[in-house]
């Protein structure tokens, strides 16, 4: 772990051993690295000499991003992937053998749900869903001798469930199973799952870490045994690696991550308070609100509640569509974590593949609207929300 503090590491970590002649980390837009001679190539491939091999396994720009993320997430190392979903898939592929099982909260991003439910089950891997993930006994009773990991997204997309991470970590440790946390929504600026007892952290860096809508990316932060196992194993054979340009965009995002997260949290709290008292909102999901059931646990383990929130309208699917279509400032898109405020209808887009029954269990109704609060002036976001809510009875 790097001894410097978070903001310093977000700007400097990963540079050592790397001698760029420019302030910005250069983009090594190359898939291969010429060797001095055949002996050197063999030594590098055997891991006896530091160096780079081939773009599917490693790249100097990507390596700086990996080292920086490992430093911010307090892990031995990290491996970057082409997207958040690639990170989750690579990790599951590495940890599971045919016939194995794993446990996941059902309150996860729709793509993760689909991968676990459909993609992995076709490979003979069984997901056991915990449908009351706030209850440690529900996790405990799902564990079998074939369970190879526990997976939790906290905070979760789109309903902002917050898991008690120290409690889940204790359970995982007791059974000798790694706990994986998807830390996409908080980022390491607001939550450190490893310090709370988790073993492995995954991210869609596409979201807050990049900070705009320019680069897909993912990362797995954990012990060398896992990250290097993935590098020597499936990523080398599949090639779901992060591109140098996307790594560079993510490095830029990291430099001001905590400043952005601070303002994201402030703006989200203002929007959440406004929605909480609004006569057209049935309920608001934002753990920063004192009335939220996860507020206490969020305060214990997070420095801030990030800026994803969702609210249920007093109304129907048609009302939700009308509100979303009426936004003038907010962007209507299936994305989150950018400087622009984004509105999404999860039931018909990001989570639609779950199907109605699973969405019902996960509390994703037809009148639920997800907002990723951006960095604009808060009064402009509220004014846009108000004029859109006025469009329904
Ligand atoms: C919490 C969370 N994890 C993972 C993903 C998948 O990330 P990506 O789109 O980079 O594959 C998403 C995407 O929205 C997400 O919200």
Whether ligand 1 lies within 6 angstroms of the CB of 90 is answered as no
Ligand 1 pocket check: which of 81, 82, 84 to mutate, most ligand atoms within 8 Å of Cβ?
84
Residue 202 CA, ligand 1 centroid: distance in Å = 10
pLDDT at 3: 81
- Ligand 1, atom 15, lies closest to the CA of 109
393 preceded by a cis bond (ω within 30 of 0): no
Cα-to-centroid distance, 101 and ligand 1 (Å): 22
Q: What angle do CA 322, 324, 328 make, to 5 degrees?
A: 110
Does residue 122 contact residue 95 with C-beta atoms inside 8 Å? Answer: no
* Bridge partners, 181 (sequence order): 152, 201
Query: Chain-centre distance of CA 312, in angstroms?
Result: 23
User: Ligand 1 pocket, 218 CB below 6 A?
Assistant: yes
How many C-beta neighbours within 10 Å does residue 247 have? Answer: 27
- The separation between CA 96 and the C-alpha centre of its own chain, rounded to angstroms, equals 21
For ligand 1, atom 8, the nearest C-alpha belongs to: 84
84 vs 229: CA distance, rounded Å: 18
Ligand 1 site-directed mutation target among 80, 81, 82, 85, most atoms within 8 Å of CB: 85
Judge whether 100 and 150 are in contact, CB under 8 Å.
no
Give the DSSP H or E segment for 100. Answer: none
The residues with which 221 forms a beta bridge, in sequence order, are 78, 201
Contact between residue 217 and residue 242 where contact means Cβ atoms under 8 Å apart: yes
Q: What torsion do the CA atoms of 368, 369, 372, 376 make, to the nearest 10 degrees? A: -150
pLDDT value, residue 2: 54
Please give the Cα distance from 345 to 342 (Å, whole number).
10
How far apart CA 102 and CA 89 sit, in angstroms, is: 13
Cα–Cα distance between 133 and 104 in angstroms, integer?
9
Three-state SS at 144: coil
Burial of 185 by CB count in 10 Å (0-12 exposed, 13-18 middle, 19+ buried)?
buried
In angstroms, what is the span from residue 20 Cα to ligand 1's centroid? 32
Is 372 a pocket residue for ligand 1 (Cβ < 6 Å)?
no
Which residues 6+ apart lie within 8 Å of 48 measured at CB? none
CA 335 to ligand 1 center in whole angstroms: 9
Per-residue pLDDT tens, the chain, 393 aa: give them. Answer: 458 999 999 999 998 766 667 888 999 999 999 999 999 999 999 999 999 999 999 999 999 999 999 999 999 999 999 999 999 999 999 999 999 999 999 999 999 999 999 999 999 999 999 999 999 999 999 999 999 999 999 999 999 999 999 999 999 999 999 999 999 999 999 999 999 999 999 999 999 999 999 999 999 999 999 999 999 998 989 999 999 999 999 999 999 999 999 999 999 999 999 999 999 999 999 999 999 999 999 999 999 999 999 999 999 999 999 999 999 999 999 999 999 999 999 999 999 999 999 999 999 999 999 999 999 999 999 999 999 999 998
Q: Look up the pTM and report it.
A: 0.97
Determine how β-strand 77-81 pairs with β-strand 368-372: unpaired
Query: Residue 23: what pLDDT?
Result: 86
Ligand 1 centre distance from Cα of residue 18 (Å): 30
Domains of the chain in sequence order: 6-255 (3.40.640.10), 258-389 (3.90.1150.10)
Does ligand 1 lie within 6 Å of residue 216's CB atom? Answer: yes
The tokens 């622009």 sit on which residue? 340
Q: Is the CB of 182 under 6 A from ligand 1?
A: yes
Q: What gap in Å lies between CA 334 and CA 320, rounded to an integer?
A: 15
Mutate to test the pocket of ligand 1, among 91, 109, 113 (most ligand atoms within 8 A of CB): 109
pLDDT in tens, 67-90: 999 999 999 999 999 999 999 999
Output the CA torsion 180→184→186→188 (10° steps): 70
Angle between helices 257-276 and 378-389 (to 10 degrees): 40
Q: Tell me if 111 CB under 6 Å of ligand 1.
A: yes
Dist. CA 117 → ligand 1 center (Å): 16
């Amino acid at each position: 772990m790097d001894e410097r503090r978070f903001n310093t590491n977000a700007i400097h970590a990963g540079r050592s051993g790397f001698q760029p002649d420019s302030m910005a980390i250069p983009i090594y837009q190359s898939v291969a690295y010429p060797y001095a001679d055949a002996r050197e190539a063999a030594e590098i491939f055997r891991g006896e000499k530091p160096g780079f091999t081939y773009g599917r396994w490693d790249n100097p720009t990507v390596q700086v991003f990996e080292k920086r993320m490992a430093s911010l997430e307090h892990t031995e190392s990290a491996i970057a992937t082409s997207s958040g979903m690639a990170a989750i898939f690579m990790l599951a592929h590495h940890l599971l053998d045919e016939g194995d099982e794993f446990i996941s909260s059902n309150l996860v991003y729709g793509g993760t749900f689909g991968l676990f439910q459909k993609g992995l089950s076709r490979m003979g891997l069984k997901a056991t869903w915990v449908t009351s993930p706030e209850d440690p006994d529900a996790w405990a009773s799902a564990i079998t001798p074939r369970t190879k990991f526990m997976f939790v997204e906290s905070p979760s997309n789109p309903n902002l469930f917050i898991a008690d991470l120290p409690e889940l970590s204790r359970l995982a440790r007791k059974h000798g199973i790694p706990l994986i946390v998807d830390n996409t929504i908080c980022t390491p600026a607001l939550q450190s799952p490893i310090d709370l007892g988790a073993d492995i952290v995954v991210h869609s860096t596409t979201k807050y870490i990049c900070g705009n809508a320019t680069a897909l990316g993912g990362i797995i932060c954990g012990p060398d045994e896992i990250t290097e196992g993935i590098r020597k194993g499936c990523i080398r054979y599949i090639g779901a690696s992060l591109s140098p340009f996307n790594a560079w965009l993510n490095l830029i995002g990291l430099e001001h991550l905590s400043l952005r997260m601070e303002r994201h949290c402030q703006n989200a709290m203002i929007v959440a308070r406004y929605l909480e008292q609004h006569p057209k909102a049935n309920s608001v999901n934002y753990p920063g609100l004192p009335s939220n059931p996860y507020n206490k646990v969020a305060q214990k383990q997070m420095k801030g509640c990030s800026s994803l929130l969702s609210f249920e309208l007093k109304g129907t699917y048609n009302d939700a569509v009308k509100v979303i279509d009426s936004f003038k400032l907010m962007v209507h898109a299936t994305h989150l974590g950018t400087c622009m405020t984004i509105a999404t209808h999860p039931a018909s887009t990001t989570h639609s593949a779950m199907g109605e029954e699973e969405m019902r269990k996960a509390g994703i109704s037809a009148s639920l609207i997800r907002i990723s609060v951006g960095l604009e002036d808060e009064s402009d976001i509220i004014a846009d929300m108000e004029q859109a809510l006025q469009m329904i009875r």
